[in-house]
Amino acid sequence: MLVAIDPFATGRLAFSPQRVIASRLVGRVRNGTVRWERRTGWETGRDYASRGEAPFDLVFIDGDHTYEGLSRDWESWSPLIGTRGVIALHDSRSTPRRPIDAAGSVRFTREVIAHDGRFETFDEVDSLTVVRRRLG
């Protein structure tokens, strides 16, 4: 199952075009199921933790790119990752073509996530950092 999380904010026209596009694209896929969560990532992670949901194998975080935003996402999702599970963090590192060292998400990744003993850096691609939960 895929859990897709996005608050899909309503725009000037009183609807979210991104929600319409995402629903149509995902609706074309016939293998597997999608659970839509129309909330922020940290709210969803917090609720999943309170319900004792099964550990996740993969979480892709591409949400609030502020220091505080990624901190909330990390605190709510990192405990939900199973052994050898992976978290991919968008806009978590600078690239020569896109220098974003001052972004909160880059600073939080460098200052906190890189030093979180539960995880190890698995790969880095463009602005994406992939961390994997350590054994034990």
Q: In this model, does residue 44 exceed pLDDT 80?
A: yes
Q: In this model, does residue 8 exceed pLDDT 80?
A: yes
Instruction: Report the distance separating Cα 121 and Cα 56, nearest Å.
Output: 17
Q: In this model, does residue 131 exceed pLDDT 80?
A: yes
Distances from the Cα of 135 to the Cα of 4, 52, 53, 119, 122, angstroms: 27, 21, 20, 9, 13
Share of the chain above pLDDT 90, in %: 83
Comparing C-alpha atoms, which of 117, 87, 93, 118 is closest to residue 107? Answer: 93
Average pLDDT, the chain: 94
The 10s digit of each residue's pLDDT in 68-118 is: 999 999 999 999 999 999 999 999 999 999 999 999 999 999 999 999 999
pTM of the model: 0.88
CATH superfamily of 39-133: Vaccinia Virus protein VP39 (3.40.50.150)
Q: In the predicted model, what is the mean pLDDT of residues 24-36?
A: 90
Q: Are strands 81-89 and 56-61 parallel, antiparallel or unpaired?
A: parallel
Strands (E), 33-118: 34-37, 56-61, 81-89
Comparing C-alpha atoms, which of 61, 67, 73 is closest to residue 110? Answer: 67
Residue-range domain boundaries for the chain: 1-36, 39-133
What is the greatest pairwise CA distance in the chain? Answer: 50
Position 136 scores a pLDDT of 73
Cβ atoms of 22 and 16 within 8 Å: the answer is: no
